[in-house]
Chain A
Amino acid sequence: MLNKVNKPKLVVIGNGMAGIRTVELLLDRAPDLYDITVFGSEPYGNYNRILLSPVLAGEKTVDDIMLNTEQWYDDNGITLRKGEMIEMIDRRTCEVVTKEGARVPYDRLLIATGSNPIMLPLPGKDLPGVIGFRDIQDVEHMVQASTSYKNAVVIGGGLLGLEAANGLMKRGMTVTVVHLLDTLMERQLDQVAGGLLRKSLEERGMVFKMPAQTEAILGTDRVTGVRFADGEELPADLVVMAVGIRPNFELARKAGLHCERGIVVSDTMQTYDGRIYAVGECVQHRRQTYGLVAPLFDQAKVCANHLAMKGFATYDGSVVSTKLKVTGIDLFSAGDFAPGADKEEIVMQDASRGVYKRIILRDKKIVGAVLYGDTIDGPWYFQHLRDGTDVSHMRERLVFGAANLGDGGHSGNNSVAAMSDDTEICGCNGVCKGTIVKAISEKKLFTIDDVRAHTKASSSCGSCTGLVEQVLAFTLGGDYSAAPKVKPMCACTDHSHDDARRVIVENGLKTIPDVMKFMDWKTANGCHSCRPALNYYLLATWPGEYRDDQQSRYINERVHANIQKDGTYSVVPRMWGGVTTPDELRAIADVADKFNIPTVKVTGGQRIDLLGVKKEDLPAVWADLNAAGMVSGHAYAKGLRTVKTCVGSEWCRFGTQDSTGLGVKLEKFMWGSWTPAKVKLAVSGCPRNCAEATCKDVGVVCVDSGYEIHFAGAAGLHIKGTEFLTKVATEEETLEIIAALTQLYREQGWYLERMYKWCDRIGLDAIRKQVVDDVANRKALFSRFAHSQQFSQSDPWAARAQRGVDRNEFTPLAELELA
């Protein structure tokens, strides 16, 4: 309590979704920084406004939608003054004044007053029975009306109007929706989708009057009807106006803060008065106002960061997507779908199934999507839209969705809605749908990160992320595509991989602690996910200069062998191009005997794997293998692994070129290079492709007239054939282009992002331009690659076995005899 007196005071006006989200995040980041007071004009704790529609429809209760109970405010030492309205902000004295005249001082003020429903200035608008649709009180009002009256008119055929109409209909009223235009939800849907929506709502009994302009609301003591411009009148006992919202910034304007269509804020969510922040529907940021939660949550994050004195994050605006929460109607829309000369469209319409999909592309990227009837792929399109993925290589199949692109079978090709609770969603962690749904509803989770943190789903290989997003969207019913425009690296930071790479280069940062400090990391030493990434970025940016940080390496790279399930290791010596000799084979056999190695196995990449080596034996095993001339095969590395070859022209009757020889050259030139994720190569001597070069990160297929270079294939979690990069005449060019390509990947790839994913993100054409067309650039890339190879081509096995580097890794600290 004493303590409280000394803390700066944070006052929050508005107990809604954006304001409290900011407070939650602030508590996360700086739990004890402020003495917090929250004012809310509504008489409740904090609830999920989005779910008012299901409450109205009788699918949920008010209790179901509470996000934070009063207990939560207590537990966190927050003073909640519910049912109290702030009437004035006194910036001279730094106080807020309540309607009752109480004054409360602030050091920092957060305005999150949301918006108000627009009430058309029609005669009769103040009659009892005419309401908006915004808060619990409105819902109670509507529920009440439905028990004693019959006819309802909803003015406005947008998202909110239709949800209100659906709810009232479910409560037994006869509902007419009046809309000014001839397309429903015109801001989210095109005409075709709007038409389909209208048809299915009509089938459920909703009546539409559109286009139609309301002229007056009739009645004396209570509303009795509505009159339109064309003279028609409709009986009505309840009129719901859902024609739009207006940011609620009166308070701020009166206090002299700069406002336009909303309270104008900077990228750090500050108003023109630096002590006063604003988030949510009441703000205007870079000319935009928002009316959906996803962007508001992005804002909350930045604001919380800044309030916590971690000032690096900025808000750059959001792209939004929408879903209509009317049970049984699947509708999804995102981005920009207005027609335009520079845009292309892919449309699929299946009238008998009631399915309509329209994907809008610009510059090979998805910029908008409208889905009706089958919205399973909504999150998938949205992801590509946000990431700005080059989708040209999947253009023909794009409209069929994620399930129709090749992969190892883990992506969502099933409707999550139809899945039973025990369907496994995350194969890595064995998490079922039911577990995820339960966590989302019980723990009030909003984002994919929350779900990861609470259930582990999608926290390992990530191939089920799309599915988990669908479960999230489906469980919450609302629009929760809350992933920010840029994906943070991990929970330790709000910054993306690209941010980190850029900041390292621009600011010449050379150690992990420097990067973390500069970028306001939220944790002291990061975690197992960001530290290895930063270590790689520094290594790739400053070759020869940066000192590798062992403790930020996964164990495999730290000890240069693969850890196995029982804690033993496996060792793979390099066999250049897959070629070996009787001497090498003898040495391997001797090592296996000498160290009692239980399993000797041939790998998929033409190497020999010695499995089950004890950690303390590793240096001795390496010493023996080194003695026979073998070096580490980097089978553990996020780096160059193997170059697989066929026998080619030297032996094969079909061979056109010396594929084995080229494979050996490539491997000798490229070994030791660290890359964002593993890199595997193959060289085939003719199009029969015995080395399976067309499912590798980089593959060469030799033909009579030269060498075809392919890349961006994969044969793991996802199965993907390579993309054709170019064809060249000589081995020298082949080598140069492959090294340049690898260097570009090294410089642009996100840590753990395989080459095929990087290619998806950057685009085939952009890559081809840089490594094939622009010769000067290719040469520059090549020389950067060659430069960094100087420092990386030393055998880690030799260093540890012969020179005793990191010796203490392999020996116990002490051996105790215990009684």
Chain B
Amino acid sequence: MTKWIEIGTLNDIPVLGSRVVRTASGDIAVFRTSDDEVFALDDRCPHKGGPLSQGIVHNKRVTCPLHNFVIELKSGTAVAPDEGCTRAHPTKVENGVVWLSVQTAVAVPAE
């Protein structure tokens, strides 16, 4: 069953930007696209663990600030030719409030 947690309002996240949600099992990056969709990913790039929340957001993708891996916001998969995947968490926006459902499995540490 999905358990939704309220994490803030849409306005707290800059358009084409991101904010971090701290959790005991690691940071989660919450992104907002230009058409106000919200996505959440573990804040660890599948490449070398770079903080995706610090990257540049474009369309439904984010570019990792460390070595330019491009990650799909929806699935967390890297855009070819890069490979790898970071965990995505369900989100929803209702009346300007952002909800997150954190997958409870333990975060897999990056190599």
* Bound CA span A559–B56, Å: 13
Q: Which residue of A is nearest B27, CB measured? A: A812
A818 and B24: CB pair below 8 A? yes
Contact of A814 among B17, B21, B54 (CB under 8 A): B21
- Tell me the minimal C-beta distance from B11 to chain A in angstroms: 10
Checking B5, B21, B55 against A555 with a beta-carbon cut-off of 8 angstroms, the contacting residue is: B55
A816 CB contact (under 8 Å) in B23, B51, B55, B82? B23
Q: Which residue of A lies closest to B104 (CB)?
A: A818
Residues of A within 8 A of B67 (CB): 429, 460
Within 8 A of A (CB), among B33-76: 33-34, 48-51, 54-59, 61, 63, 65-68, 70
In contact, A550 and B14 (Cβ under 8 angstroms): yes
In the complex, which residue of chain B has the Cβ closest to the Cβ of A558? B54
Q: Which of A531, A559, A567, A815 contacts B21 (CB 8 A)?
A: A815
Question: Which stretch (A163-171, A518-526, A696-704) binds chain B?
Answer: A518-526
Q: In the bound complex, how far is the Cα of B57 from the Cα of A311, in angstroms? A: 27
List, in ascending order, chain B residues with CB within 8 A of A819's CB. 104
How many chain B residues touch the partner (CB < 8 A)?
42
Q: Is the C-beta of A453 less than 8 angstroms from some C-beta in chain B? A: yes
Bound-state CA distance A563–B63 (Å) is 14
CA–CA, A531 and B21, complex, Å: 26
Please tell me if the beta carbons of A565 and B19 are within 8 angstroms of each other in the complex. Answer: no
Give the secondary structure class of B's interface: loop
Decide if A532 touches B56 in the complex (CB within 8 Å).
yes
Size range of the chain A interface in the assembly: 35 or more
Q: Is the CB of B8 within 8 A of A456?
A: no
What CA separation (Å) do A517 and B49 show in the bound complex?
35
In Å, the complex CA distance between A285 and B92 comes to 53
Query: Is the CB of A389 closer than 8 A to any CB of chain B?
Result: no
B88 at the interface (CB under 8 A from A): no
- Tell me if A524 and B34 are in contact (CB < 8 A): yes
Contact between B80 and A816 (Cβ–Cβ < 8 Å)? Answer: no
CB within 8 Å for A531 and B23 given contacts A453-B81, A460-B68: no
Instruction: Give CA–CA (A814, B9) in the complex, Å.
Output: 11
Determine the distance from Cα of A558 to Cα of B49 in the docked complex, in whole angstroms: 20
CB distance from A431 to the nearest CB of B (A): 9
Q: Are A813 and B54 in contact (CB under 8 A)?
A: no
B13 beta carbon closer than 8 Å to chain A: yes
Q: How far is the CA of A706 from the CA of B104 in the complex (A)?
A: 70
Cross-interface CB contact of B59 among A524, A532, A551, A816, cutoff 8 Å: A524
| A93 touches B (CB below 8 Å) | no
- Does chain B have a CB within 8 A of A817? yes
C-beta contact mask, A524-567 vs B, less than 8 Å → 1, else 0? 11111001100000000000000000111011001100010111
B45 to chain A, nearest CB (A): 10
Instruction: Please tell me if the beta carbons of B63 and A527 are within 8 angstroms of each other in the complex.
Output: yes
Q: Which residues of B contact A552 (CB under 8 A)?
A: 16, 56
Cα distance, A527 to B56, chains bound together (Å): 8
Contact A814 to B7, CB < 8 A, known contacts A455-B81, A460-B68, A551-B16: yes
Among residues of A, the one whose C-beta sits closest to the C-beta of B15 is A551
Q: Report A796-819 CB contacts with B as 1/0, cut-off 8 Å.
A: 000000000000100011111111
Bound-state Cα–Cα, A97 to B50, Å: 59
- Say yes or no: is A41 at the interface (Cβ < 8 Å to chain B): no
Inter-chain contacts of B21 with A (CB < 8 A): 812-816
| Contact yes or no, B54 A527, CB < 8 A | no
Residues B34 and A525 in contact, CB atoms below 8 Å apart: yes
A454 CB-CB contact with B under 8 Å:
yes
Distance (Å) between the CB of B72 and the closest chain A CB?
13
Q: Check A812–B58 contact: CB distance below 8 A.
A: no
Which residues of chain B have C-beta atoms less than 8 A from A818's C-beta? 23-25, 102, 104
Query: Shortest distance in angstroms between B49's beta carbon and chain A's nearest beta carbon?
Result: 8
Is A814's CB under 8 angstroms from B8's CB? yes
Interface flags, A136-164, vs B, CB<8A=1, else 0? 00000000000000000000000000000
For A565, list chain B residues within 8 Å (CB).
48, 66
Chain B residues lying within 8 Å of A525, measured Cβ to Cβ, are 16, 33-34, 57-59
| Residue-wise interface mask of B (68-109) relative to A, using a CB-CB cutoff of 8 A (1 in contact, 0 not) | 101000000000111000000000000000000010100000
> In the assembled complex, which residues on chain A have CB atoms less than 8 Å from the CB atom of B33?
525
Of B14, B54, B56, B104, the residue contacting A567 (CB under 8 A) is B54
CB neighbours (8 Å) of B12 from chain A are: 808, 813
What is the minimal beta-carbon distance from B79 to any residue of chain A, in angstroms?
9
| Listed A/B pairs (13) with beta-carbon separation below 8 Å | A523-B58, A527-B58, A528-B68, A551-B16, A551-B56, A551-B57, A554-B65, A555-B54, A565-B66, A808-B12, A808-B19, A818-B102, A819-B104
Residues of A within 8 A of B (CB): 429, 439, 453-456, 459-460, 523-528, 531-532, 550-552, 554-555, 558-559, 563, 565-567, 808, 812-819
Closest 9 CB pairs of A and B: A813-B19, A528-B63, A528-B56, A551-B16, A814-B7, A815-B22, A555-B54, A555-B65, A567-B51
